[in-house]
Amino acid sequence: MRHPEILQKAKTAFLVVDIQEKLIPAISIYPKLEPCILRMIKVAAELGITTLLTEQYPKGLGSTLPSIKEALPSYEPIEKNTFSCCGVDIIQQKLEEARAEAVVLVGVEAHVCVQQTALDLLAAGFRVHVPADAVASQRKFDWQIAIERMRQAGAIISTGQSIIFELLVEAGTPEFKAVLPLLKDK
């Protein structure tokens, strides 16, 4: 028997939050996070895990970064004006269609959209996993407090690699061999 907090690919969805052209330049640490985010998106695609993408007020903040668009199996942004992704009904609907019990959140800003989404998903009964190396804020202090607040509320804080290995379960499988090149640091 596995611990109930360990992710299972059949019951997990990924949510990529607001990684947009006009927002990212203000987040100086983003270049260090992008490889982890891209790796997670590609592994989710390889494992057949539903990945949803949001864009906060795209008229003002622009579109999703090209590197993220290219990593996704399909580019189907869900536009929102609310800070929480859960303010858009289609998010809950798509998570239910995916039979998700757990949601992995990546993106920005950790203390605004990611945090509010995490809290709302927890309130809706989802287990929420936040890889600390795949979320960011403009200011480090905001990121630190957001990570702590999400943890206190019940979100599971870990790393991108930890999440990937939970979903893979074991080495030597065809899935493991398929994603192995993505797991090597570049």
Residue 55 lies in a domain: yes
80 included as an active-site residue:
yes
Residue 114 lies in a domain: yes
Residue 158 lies in a domain: yes
Residue 98 lies in a domain: yes
- Euclidean distance between CA atoms 34 and 40, whole angstroms: 10
pLDDT digits (tens), the chain, 186 positions: 889 899 999 999 999 999 999 999 999 999 999 999 999 999 999 999 999 999 999 999 999 999 999 999 999 999 999 999 999 999 999 999 999 999 999 999 999 999 999 999 999 999 999 999 999 999 999 999 999 999 999 999 999 999 999 999 999 999 999 999 988 765
Query: What's the predicted TM-score (pTM) here?
Result: 0.96
| pLDDT of amino acid 184 | 79
Pick the catalytic residue from 36, 85, 86, 113.
Answer: 113
Residue 21 lies in a domain: yes
36 included as an active-site residue:
no
- Euclidean distance between CA atoms 101 and 128, whole angstroms: 9
Pick the catalytic residue from 80, 85, 120, 133.
Answer: 80
The SS3 call for residue 67 is helix
CATH number of domain containing 155? 3.40.50.850
Residue 2 lies in a domain: no
Which amino acid belongs to residue 47?
Answer: L
| pLDDT of amino acid 2 | 87
| pLDDT of amino acid 49 | 97
Domain of residue 152, residue span: 9-183
- Taking alpha carbons only, the member of 77, 59, 60 closest to residue 68 is 77
Residue 155 lies in a domain: yes
Pick the catalytic residue from 18, 42, 120, 133.
Answer: 18
- Euclidean distance between CA atoms 182 and 184, whole angstroms: 6
18 included as an active-site residue:
yes
The SS3 call for residue 23 is coil
Residue 4 lies in a domain: no
Domain count, the chain: 1
